[in-house]
Structure 1
């Protein structure tokens, strides 16, 4: 069994063939999916998917969509989470340092969600692009009780260790399938058994061999194959370990 620990299955990209997408995933052993929220306008679609037994959901405000967020969204988030106990984490939230003109607003939004995760004792799902070190510093300051996921990790061995020491796991996805990502691949080989989960970020984060194509959860199998080779372990071992880590992080029931 595999879990896709981060996939945006609520996105319109899947409207035409969502059920077929689930069938393709199940056919290759992907049996559970964690779907994060990105904007307030999409929370209802995420929660609707969460009615499925094979989906766990998170609610948050993504930094990429900073222009779509308003102050009321930050105030609405804790109410939405409190009203839906099935929510397993706060997120997707974080910092995308590619967009320097919105960094101050991103940090304010991120900090509000980190404090919410701390007050609700929920894990947090973090989008962290070109900001591993300042994000790790902020996480150390806040000391979040339930840790979380550093989604789409693409950093160094030292940065991975820093996050893991803070109680986080790193998400391994499409980036690790590209041979040019040598620093990341070295980090993957050094991760502790309980330090990672596998993900696709569907429909985004294209993998080697699928450039220009919509991503989907069935391809988490390719991530598992690459991670197993880098760690000199069997596919089954990596699948079982990453699944156990996702169960633990998100409190997913095995029933």
Structure 2
């Protein structure tokens, strides 16, 4: 490994490290990722079923793991109004490791009524405004509608559009509203021409990287659970797309990620702290 490679500090801005696939030997998976240069992680929650687990991991692995609290459109239920009330209470009692609202958003493919999705999403916009936290946004075939709702709500705390797949024009619509673009495994596939072109055109200041582990596999690892350690493969693809020195790009991405989540850039740089 070159001296420059040793200095790379990577931040997985969106990984579901709390999912069962990692639970049996979590510390091993964390070590594997850290050996690849991944120093920080944000766990976006999907609903009440994993708020506590995400918070517990962040409390245990301080300065490494952070989390978001939210309700994913996949998991909306008939009692989602009660879940919103529970979310508000969870935010009140959340510690400093809670750095975002999400994962929340819209999905044009799942069989969940659009009016319900939008109602719950707008409520989460309001909670994010109250808490002065950014949003972790999910959007599938709903970019235009999501942009409209963000403008209508006059949301000003920014966030990230996670797992971006789309055109340059769509990406810029979000960055114009103060959002970062979450670049994941899709850019490792040469067939993803439209998304790769969009990412190559975006200002590097508008980009963060993510794995969405255990989902969104990177090229060469199809059929396997994704892993935060594979963030380095996404980073390598981005180095090629942006035609930048690896160290310079990693430093910019680190700054972007820390800015996104309101974190000190230098905290925990020398290692990790684990609470018993």
TM-score over 0.5 (shorter chain): yes
Residues 20 and 68 of structure 1: CA distance in aligned 2, closer, same or farther (over 3 Å): farther
The structure with more radius of gyration: 2
Residue 162 of structure 1 aligns with which residue? Answer: 173
Q: Does 1:57 align with 2:100?
A: no
Moved over 6 A (4+): none
Aligned residues: 255
Cα deviation per residue 1:157-188 (whole Å; 9 max; x = unaligned)? 01111100100001000111111110100111
Residue 248 of structure 2 aligns with which residue? Answer: 237
Q: Does 1:188 align with 2:187?
A: no
Residues 101 and 6 of structure 1: CA distance in aligned 2, closer, same or farther (over 3 Å): closer
Residue 19 of structure 1 aligns with which residue? Answer: 27
Q: Does 1:151 align with 2:162?
A: yes
Residues 69 and 208 of structure 1: CA distance in aligned 2, closer, same or farther (over 3 Å): farther
8 A Cα contact 1:26 1:218, kept in partner: yes
Question: Equivalent residue of 1:194, what SS?
Answer: helix
Deviation, 1:15, is 1.2
Q: Does 1:34 align with 2:45?
A: no
Question: Equivalent residue of 2:136, what SS?
Answer: strand
Residues 68 and 20 of structure 1: CA distance in aligned 2, closer, same or farther (over 3 Å): farther
For residue 112 of structure 1, the aligned residue among 98, 103, 123 is 123
Give the TM-score normalised by the residue count of structure 2.
0.89
CA distance in 2, matches of 1:67, 1:13: 24
Residue 66 of structure 1 aligns with which residue? Answer: 76
CA distance in 2, matches of 1:69, 1:228: 45
Instruction: For CA contacts below 8 A with separation 6 or more, give which structure has more relative contact order.
Output: 2
CA distance in 2, matches of 1:70, 1:158: 33
For residue 88 of structure 2, the aligned residue among 68, 71, 78 is 78
